[in-house]
């Protein structure tokens, strides 16, 4: 389980430096298959505080902890039910976060004070190599200011967070392009907290029925990404039907791929680019219905919220 692809010699020295910074309590931005993460030692409360300060992240939004093996994940949680093992065997490394009861060594700040922690094994050789080199699990939300567009290239991180991180590992563009699916296994039911490109139906093929989180909640959120407005470009974003565009201002209608995976892979990249072009508004057509589009609909509806 897990990818152990050897990296070239220049990468070995870069990873050694990044891992040393992580162990020293600093922040390192690194690529995953979903988006670039803002990484810190998940077991160091002071390092976790740096993440929240750098992002301007509110305390009710928990962090996901990235691991390089099932064994590391199990070391962070009190329970590892059969369904967790089935899903990890099927989808890890990959864009699925499992929420489970945490062990005491996981700081409360990581989990927004909740008794559960989200863990995932990223499907990216640089991310896995960094975790292995550091010898530590990494707390890593997206490497951007809170509510902003998630970064899918190192340049996105540099523009938004370059002065707030000790180092950026440039692994090129991400491949999946939007954040992971988050599934809670902490109670009697499996609950889909945040949709992603591992879909509800794919999960149900492995473990049976899944309940979907409905509505907002007060206090600590059970998953990242649940604020009403999130993932937003600086330019106002609107969702339209049939090309019905505003009559005022200068804007752009972004044409997107018809395949949901291709769409997700380029979504943030195209929004970042449009943000740099000085438009008054950005428009996208409402994405289609269907399970495979749920994550894209979620991101766009939050990004377009006023």
Task: Using alpha carbons, list the distances in angstroms from residue 261 to 107, 128, 199, 212, 292.
Answer: 35, 23, 11, 21, 8
The third-level CATH classification (topology) of the domain covering 9-212 is DHBP synthase (3.90.870)
Q: 2: pLDDT confidence band, cut at 50, 70 and 90?
A: very low
Q: What is the pTM of this model?
A: 0.94
Beta strand segments in 96-218, E: 96-101, 116-120, 138-139, 167-168, 181-184, 191-194, 211-212
Cα separation of 161 and 40, whole Å?
14
The residue with greater pLDDT, 189 or 247, is 189
- Per-residue pLDDT of 105-154, as tens digits, reads 999 999 999 999 999 999 999 999 999 999 999 999 999 999 999 999 99
Q: What is the pLDDT of residues 146-179, one digit of tens each?
A: 999 999 999 999 999 999 999 999 999 999 999 9
71: three-class secondary structure by DSSP: helix
pLDDT at residue 217, rounded to an integer: 65
Cis peptide before 93 (omega within 30 of 0): yes
More confident residue, 88 or 12: 88
Tokens of 232: 């937003």
pLDDT surpassing 90 at residue 242: no
Helix (H) and strand (E) counts in the chain = 9, 13
Residue-wise pLDDT for 191-240, tens only, equals 999 999 999 999 999 999 999 998 766 789 989 988 989 999 999 999 99
Locate the domains of the chain by residue range. 9-212, 237-303
Q: How confident is the model at residue 4 (pLDDT cuts 50, 70, 90)?
A: very low
Lowest mean pLDDT of 12-16, 78-82, 206-210, 279-283, name the range. 12-16
Evaluate if residue 9 carries a pLDDT over 60.
Answer: no
Residue 5 pLDDT level (bands cut at 50, 70, 90): very low
Tokens encoding 262 = 């291709």
Classify 283 as helix, strand or coil. strand
Distance of CA 227 to the CA centre of its chain: 14
């Amino acid at each position: 389980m897990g990818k152990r692809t050897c990296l070239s010699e220049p990468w070995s020295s870069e990873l050694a430096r990044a891992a040393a910074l992580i162990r020293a309590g600093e922040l390192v931005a690194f690529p995953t298959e979903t988006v670039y993460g803002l990484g810190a030692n998940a077991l160091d409360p002071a390092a976790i505080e740096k993440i929240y300060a750098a992002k301007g992240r509110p305390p009710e939004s928990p962090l996901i902890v990235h691991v390089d093996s099932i064994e590391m994940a199990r070391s962070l949680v009190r329970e590892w039910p059969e369904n967790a093992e089935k899903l990890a065997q099927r989808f890890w490394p990959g864009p699925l976060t499992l929420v489970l009861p945490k062990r005491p060594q996981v700081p409360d700040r990581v989990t927004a004070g909740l008794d559960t922690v989200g863990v995932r094994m990223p499907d990216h050789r640089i991310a896995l190599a960094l975790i292995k080199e550091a010898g530590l699990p990494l707390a890593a939300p997206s490497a951007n200011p809170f509510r902003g567009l998630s970064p899918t290239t190192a340049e996105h991180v540099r523009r938004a967070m370059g002065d707030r991180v000790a180092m950026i590992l440039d692994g090129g563009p991400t491949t999946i392009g939007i954040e992971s699916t988050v599934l809670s296994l902490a109670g009697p039911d499996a609950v889909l907290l945040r949709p992603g490109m591992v879909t509800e139906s794919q999960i149900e093929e492995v473990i049976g029925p899944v309940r979907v989180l409905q509505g907002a909640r007060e206090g600590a959120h059970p998953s990242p990404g649940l604020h009403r407005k999130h993932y937003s470009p600086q330019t106002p974003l609107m969702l339209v039907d049939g090309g019905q565009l505003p009559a005022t201002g200068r804007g752009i209608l972004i044409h997107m791929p018809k395949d949901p995976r291709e769409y997700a892979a380029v979504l943030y990249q195209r929004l970042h680019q449009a943000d740099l072009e000085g438009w008054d508004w950005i428009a996208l057509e409402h994405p289609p219905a269907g399970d495979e589009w749920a994550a894209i609909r979620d991101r766009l509806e939050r990004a377009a919220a006023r």
